[in-house]
Structure 1
Amino acid sequence: MSPVGSKPPTASGVFYDQGALVASATAGAASGPEHVEVPTRYDAVLLSGFGGPEGQDDVIPFLRNVTRGRGIPDDRLEEVAHHYRHFGGVSPINEHNRELRAALEARLAERGLPLPVYWGNRNWTPFLNEAIGRAHADGHRTLIAIPTSAYSSYSSCRQYREDWADALEDTGLQAEVRIDKVRPFFDHPGFVQPFIDGVDAAIAEAASHGLDPAELEVLFCTHSVPTIDAQLSGPHDDNALAGGAYPAQHRAVAEYVMAQAAPAVSWQLVYQSRSGPPHQPWLEPDVNDAITALQGRRGVVLVPLGFVSDHMEVMWDLDTEAVETAEEAGLWVRRTPTPGVSDAFVDALVDLVAERVEGRPAGQRASVTALGPWYDVCRPGCCENRRLGFRPAIAGLAP
């Protein structure tokens, strides 16, 4: 196993039980159904985060982990590091996940599912190999994993699956520990409700400042990704997902939020936090460009639709840069809350676990868009990354 406090190396392969089509999966998921509708007994929950630095000395090592294998020199990383250094080198994401872990474990027990919740990160301590190792040492062999990301794409779904494979191989537990994952929860009502409440509250606050709804623009903000990654997100055989699952899922949720909260208010889906070489196409428009281009508006509402909690992309890219852009344009601006540890969101995560424990039929699962409920077991080639090359993954049909 890698030294404590270090990210595991890339897995060389994955472990299949005889006849299984899904690596390191429980019996119900191993044959690869889109929705697992047989009850499964789990020992524990694996809450899986992105990770973030917790001090100035952590920032560059953390960014090295995030960009591992891409050959990015430290002087380039320092250009991003100043976002973290502005906040003392501390990302709020780890503290949020500590709170979420505790809230989820307590709510599971209240719902009659007394499962311990282990928390591990992809890019900073506690790493996933540490969390899986602790769960195994405590006697747990069958885990249900929850990524702290709601949508389908390489960075928000498949990369978690790859990192679980890395952690299993690194610990030597790939033949002993089984890991299933919950479905992408972008349209679970408990994830969506905090955004509805946030838009409703922001529009009411704007009215108290003398702004009519017709003078507002709601911008649904999410992390930009390379257009090729967006196009390859989701299953390749679904012709209904023009442009890929990632933008389609966001659009569907944004449409639902506005239908519930403010059907008469204008809105857009915009992107943020672009990185990579300038010549590489990424999803657009950028949130700042969209704000600058607004005509006939006196106010803008920023909705962090792509994010579970407040972290650096929210605190810097929205609360700092986008708010500054809006204020320079003379616009009234508000940013709505993320789901965080709201009761609705924690209840949603409990419900996702309960779906798999019960083997709940797909038609009885909660979802608010026509796209859901999404798959439990990822389809072949789902969310592949042709830019970085193939890496072994679990919780989905090969490749």
Structure 2
Amino acid sequence: MSNEEPQSAEQNETTVLYASAQAASGAPHIETPTPYDAILLASFGGPEGQDDVIPFLRNVTHGRGIPDERLEEVSTHYRRFGGISPINRQNRELLAALREELAHRGHDLPVYWGNRNWEPMLESAVTEAYADGHRTVLALATSAYSSYSSDRQYREDFARVLGPAGDGGTGLGENDDPMTIDKVRLFFDHPGFVEPFFEGIRDAVTAWLDAGRPAREIRLLFSTHSVPTADAERSGPRDVDFGEGGAYSAQHRAVAEHLVARLRDAIPAASEIDWSLVFQSRSGPPSQPWLEPDVNDVIADLPNAGITAVAVVPLGFVSDHMEVLWDLDNEAKESAEEAGLAFVRTRTPGTHPAYVSGLVDLIEERIHGTPAAERPHVTDLGPWYDVSRAGSDENAHLGFRPAAAGVLP
């Protein structure tokens, strides 16, 4: 796939909501410098105490009609950790690291932090940035891949927050001195995001091989959050055929293929190690198809293939938040123990120096207007778009709601 698509007359006439003057063109890649005056770190959010858990889960499931009784069942994951999700602490650490790296590179840019589902909320961060005099904002969301929940929903949040107060927004994108919010490209195949995963795989495999375990008995499972199949099929631009699972699955497969090829180059004995893309953390009703296979089902069947050791790579996650700690470090590990397998869960990017540096690289791409041909990427799918293409990442149930940082709808 090539992202160097020509600009048609229709595309030039389309709308990008709440965009900077440069991004308002709707071009796939913005190759002219943009004078951003603030950065917005946008994330999912999580509870920070037992009393926060149910209100947080109500926010996450708003509009889906899920009763508190069902939320109480889900809450046990958080309550086991004192009602505290690690994601806010991890975001504070990432926030500090980003500020330090930006200052190191000579950028006098404030970084604000706002969450989708818990304090500090996006509304507060945007309002604070506006009060501080900032009008041209570049958002960085803590999600790397194409899908409704990992990309478009953030862009919907930006549009809602900047939109009219009567619609639940602040109105700050509508007044005589409006704020604009652009968004950095999805970074699933940026070298900085990929490097920590490679180091984790390399270290796990090396340890097993050095201990005398045959390579043919080792399996790599690249795990990511499952999403409804209908949403996965709508991920990415609607006019590109990414195959089964849409852009969401294609991006994960491409990164996994890169990592395995790099591992085999670095460790020739690893050529006998096979791998699979697996999914975790599904939350929909049994009647609704979600992406499969489930990581636990795959682990249970590995002994039948002669496998004695499994490394689970949390490829879809930027840090060790609840889905990693519960679904992998707890449930997947238990599945491996029941199957008699040696088990390793490799690291997430977190605040790895390469990851932090890579995120600032993405910010600088937009500040400097770096040509697409000069942007680093490790798969043929990249570099991904600065301005999401029309129809990207539709929610099959909700349809198209207003979204910033992308060509409508």
TM norm structure 2: 0.91
Counterpart residue number, 1:233: 235
Task: Note the C-alpha offset of 1:243.
Answer: 3.2
Instruction: Work out whether residues 365 and 373 of structure 1, in 8 Å CA contact, stay in contact via their aligned partners in 2.
Output: yes
Q: Which amino acid aligns with 1:65?
A: N
1:254 aligned to 250, 253, 256, which one?
256
Counterpart residue number, 1:63: 57
CA distance in 2 between counterparts of 1:340 and 1:81 reads 24
Task: Note the C-alpha offset of 1:293.
Answer: 1.1
**2:138 aligned with 1:144:** yes
> Counterpart of 1:27 in 2: which secondary structure?
coil
Counterpart residue number, 1:99: 93
**2:196 aligned with 1:194:** yes
> Counterpart of 2:62 in 1: which secondary structure?
coil
Task: Note the C-alpha offset of 1:113.
Answer: 1.8
1:120 aligned to 114, 135, 155, which one?
114
1:28 aligned to 22, 33, 42, which one?
22
CA distance in 1 between counterparts of 2:14 and 2:95 reads 31
Instruction: Work out whether residues 14 and 407 of structure 2, in 8 Å CA contact, stay in contact via their aligned partners in 1.
Output: no
Q: List structure 1 runs of 4+ shifted beyond 3 angstroms.
A: 240-243
> Counterpart of 1:293 in 2: which secondary structure?
helix
Within 5 Å, give how 1:1-399 maps onto structure 2.
21-169=15-163, 170-175=169-174, 176-262=178-264, 264=271, 265-294=273-302, 295-399=305-409
CA distance in 2 between counterparts of 1:121 and 1:111 reads 26
CA distance in 2 between counterparts of 1:65 and 1:174 reads 24
Instruction: Work out whether residues 242 and 250 of structure 2, in 8 Å CA contact, stay in contact via their aligned partners in 1.
Output: no
- Deviations for 1:139-185, whole angstroms, at most 9, x for unmatched residues? 11111000100000000000000111122122220131110000000
CA distance in 2 between counterparts of 1:103 and 1:139 reads 24
Task: Note the C-alpha offset of 1:320.
Answer: 0.2
Q: Which amino acid aligns with 1:230?
A: A
Task: Note the C-alpha offset of 1:241.
Answer: 4.5
Instruction: Work out whether residues 197 and 261 of structure 1, in 8 Å CA contact, stay in contact via their aligned partners in 2.
Output: no
In 2 relative to 1, CA 238–40 (structure 1 residues): closer, same or farther, beyond 3 Å? Answer: same
Q: Which amino acid aligns with 1:239?
A: D
CA distance in 1 between counterparts of 2:21 and 2:160 reads 21
- Deviations for 1:244-280, whole angstroms, at most 9, x for unmatched residues? 1000000000000111124511100000001111011
Instruction: Work out whether residues 245 and 291 of structure 2, in 8 Å CA contact, stay in contact via their aligned partners in 1.
Output: no
- Deviations for 1:301-335, whole angstroms, at most 9, x for unmatched residues? 01000000000000000000000100111100000
CA distance in 2 between counterparts of 1:59 and 1:208 reads 44
Instruction: Work out whether residues 105 and 114 of structure 1, in 8 Å CA contact, stay in contact via their aligned partners in 2.
Output: no
- Deviations for 1:90-140, whole angstroms, at most 9, x for unmatched residues? 010000000101100110111122211100000000000000011111111
- Deviations for 1:208-255, whole angstroms, at most 9, x for unmatched residues? 443222110000000000111110000011124553100000000000
CA distance in 1 between counterparts of 2:49 and 2:214 reads 43
Instruction: Work out whether residues 314 and 347 of structure 2, in 8 Å CA contact, stay in contact via their aligned partners in 1.
Output: yes
- Deviations for 1:31-64, whole angstroms, at most 9, x for unmatched residues? 1000011100101100000000000100000000
TM norm structure 1: 0.94
Q: Which amino acid aligns with 1:286?
A: D
Unaligned runs of 5+ in 1: 1-18
Q: CA RMSD in A?
A: 1.1
In 2 relative to 1, CA 376–120 (structure 1 residues): closer, same or farther, beyond 3 Å? Answer: same
Counterpart residue number, 2:10: none
> Counterpart of 1:251 in 2: which secondary structure?
helix
Q: Which amino acid aligns with 1:26?
A: S
